[in-house]
Amino acid sequence: MDLGKTIQTLRKQKGYRQNTFADMVELSQTYLSQIENNQKEPNLTTLKLIATKLDTSLPILFFLSLDEADIPASKKALFQVLGPLVKPLIEGLADGN
């Protein structure tokens, strides 16, 4: 799961600079950078605030962060088929489109 990269991608898609977004979610820019680089794991309250400010939901944030390593071996074949089909739909929800 690459939650940090997903947060960074959505932040950039919304046009927020890291320092501006850090202020919006009441974090230091350093801490936000550590989250985006997967060096720190934010608590659930912080993740909810980040998702809200990115105009998305936690389930969407988590889904977009999934990678094949997160999927049980018994479900990988299904994920490989459905992932590329479903991910663009979920990204559209995250973008508000």
Higher pLDDT, 97 or 89: 89
Higher pLDDT, 81 or 32: 32
| 17 SS3 class | coil
What's the pLDDT at 96?
61
pTM of this structure:
0.85
Q: What is the pLDDT of residues 8-61, one digit of tens each?
A: 999 999 999 999 999 999 999 999 999 999 999 999 999 999 999 999 999 999
User: CA–CA separation, 91 vs 15, rounded Å?
Assistant: 16
Question: Are 25 and 43 a contacting pair, CB within 8 Å?
Answer: no
